[in-house]
Amino acid sequence: MATSTQTRGHCQCCGRQQAVRGGISAHGYTVANGWFQGVCQGHRYAPLEKRRTETDSMIADVLKQAHDLRIKAEETLAGMHDPVEYKTGYMKMVDGKRVAEVALFADAPEYRQQDIRKHEAYLMTYRAKAGEDFAKMMSALADKVHGTELAVVAKPVPAERIQAGDKRVNAKGLVMTAVQQDGQRLWFNYTQESTGRVLKSWMSPRSWRTLQTA
């Protein structure tokens, strides 16, 4: 049941629709120990519906990088960017640890050198194609939504925070007791049947709510 509304618009950098609070709200992040990590840089800009300057600049930059990658791929096939060393595909022991074996590229057989060049060129071409596809997608999105109105959608009431002591039982009959909700992690205790030890683990609050109450 909705009690309020939320204004949403498209991010100029990733194209996803996000909440608008002055500018696009922070998104594209993970939450660890209560801290935001890896925020999409588009949160600093106005939504694409109102402005497309950053999108157009990003598209031009991505296409330039893709063009340069395709040129470098051709140069790599021609032997203009040969590495000093390459991984042989074998492992060896160094100080008790298994590490990848490397060898001098110049000492590799001609066929192996060509395989390495082709592989590196393929990776560059693949990345260039991904960039071109992304630029094409963002350009089409900008043409479609720029100048249109922001969306206003119903905002659902957030689920109540899970309280410590709440008990649930999983499909195997294991009883779990909630300890603490930390963002999108719900920590709980359970007793290991084989040893009788009390152990701690976590799941998402959404998954917890789907379990039967103990």
Same domain, 66 and 46: no
Tokens of 60: 């031009």
| CA neighbor of 120 nearest in space, from 158, 75, 84, 164 | 75
Residue with structure tokens 């993970």?
30
Count CA atoms within 13 Å of residue 65 on its CB side.
17
Q: CA–CA separation, 165 vs 196, rounded Å?
A: 19
Return the minimum-mean-pLDDT range out of 80-84, 138-142, 190-194.
190-194
Same domain, 63 and 35: no
How many structural domains compose the chain?
3
Same domain, 196 and 135: no
Whether 59 is in a domain gets the answer yes
Tokens of 182: 């930390």
Same domain, 43 and 57: no
Whether 162 is in a domain gets the answer no
Helix (H) or strand (E) holding 190: strand 185-191
What does residue 91 show for φ and ψ, rounded to 5 degrees? -115, 155
Domain range enclosing 172: 167-213
Return the minimum-mean-pLDDT range out of 22-26, 27-31, 72-76, 136-140.
27-31
188 band by pLDDT with thresholds 50, 70 and 90: very high
Whether 161 is in a domain gets the answer no
pLDDT tens column, 82-124: 999 999 989 998 888 999 999 999 999 999 999 999 999 999 9
pLDDT tens column, 26-70: 888 665 555 556 788 898 899 999 999 999 999 999 999 999 999
